[in-house]
Amino acid sequence: MAGCTDLAFRLVARPRGMEFAFLEMISADALVRRHPKTLEFLKTTPEDRPLGAQLVGCHPEVMGEAAAMIEEMGFDLVDINCGCPVPKITAPGGGSALLAEPDKSRRIFKRVVQSVKRIPVTVKMRKGFADPSGDEAVRMAQMAEDAGVSAVTVHGRTRVQGYSGTADWEAIGKVKRALGIPVFGNGDVTSGDDARRLLEASGCDGVMIGRGGLGNPWIYKSIEAKLNGLPEPAEPSLQERREAALEHLALEIAEEGERIAVLKFRRIACWYFKNIQGAAEFRKKVNVLETAEAMRDAISNFQAA
């Protein structure tokens, strides 16, 4: 979710039902060096709570120092990323590459847990590096639990899969059955029905939403209703989608300035109209826009084909 769950994204989703969120993934090395761009990622507001920070890195000492900084900054939780499959993260040994380095992972877990005093430490992982059985995630999760980690989240794909194929919810269940701490499931949840089926298939304690929330800040209330046996809210109307997208654009402009915000919004705008007739033509149109006025006009005038 790097490049996605920035402050503007969170402020759009909070009043629409998102009760807990993570920052964009933060490089522990860059945080310890106080890299200006990394510090920008940490921007938040009083209404953007509760809020967790997710650290990525492969050096135990640096991960521990960064975790202590996160706690000192007032975040509610620190998460260790053992799930990102992107080559620029895994090549130096971070993200899901840690699944192939159990000894190093154990040292990271212990150092981070020892480095914070008040907030919980959690771990996000995939079901394995290349092994599709889920056994790697079980071993990793047990090490995390032994180190004092409070909960784990498991994405039901291997690092080798990336985001291809289908998430294996049964592998998440293997981790749940092996642990005493809470286990959250992740992968292919785009509706309340998906969340209910994931919980039934895995027996896990909760669901983490990733890509399913992009352009769909209404998903959280939909899941809440489905899991509580209540009628699901109606699908957002086209006008509600336009309004949310325009609000998101305004927040991006306030944070980033017009030029950068419009470039970012070439992708973001398309999230809100995904799977609606006319979305392909809309994508072609917004991908060349250069001003906020033009972007607002494109969003305001979108009509289903």
The answer to whether residue 204 is catalytic is no
Give the torsion through C-alpha atoms of 126, 130, 133, 139, to 10 deg.
-60
CA-CA distance, 152 to 297, in Å (whole number)?
43
Query: Residues 6 or more apart from 269 whose CB is under 8 A from it?
Result: 245, 249, 282, 286, 295, 298, 299
Q: Which one is catalytic: 4, 58, 82, 84?
A: 84
CA-CA distance, 72 to 140, in Å (whole number)?
27
Q: Which residue has the tokens 């909760």?
A: 206
SS3 169: helix
Please give the helix or strand (H or E) that residue 271 lies within, else none: helix 258-272
With 0-12 / 13-18 / 19 or more C-beta atoms within 10 angstroms meaning exposed / middle / buried, residue 122 is buried
> What residues are annotated to the active site?
84
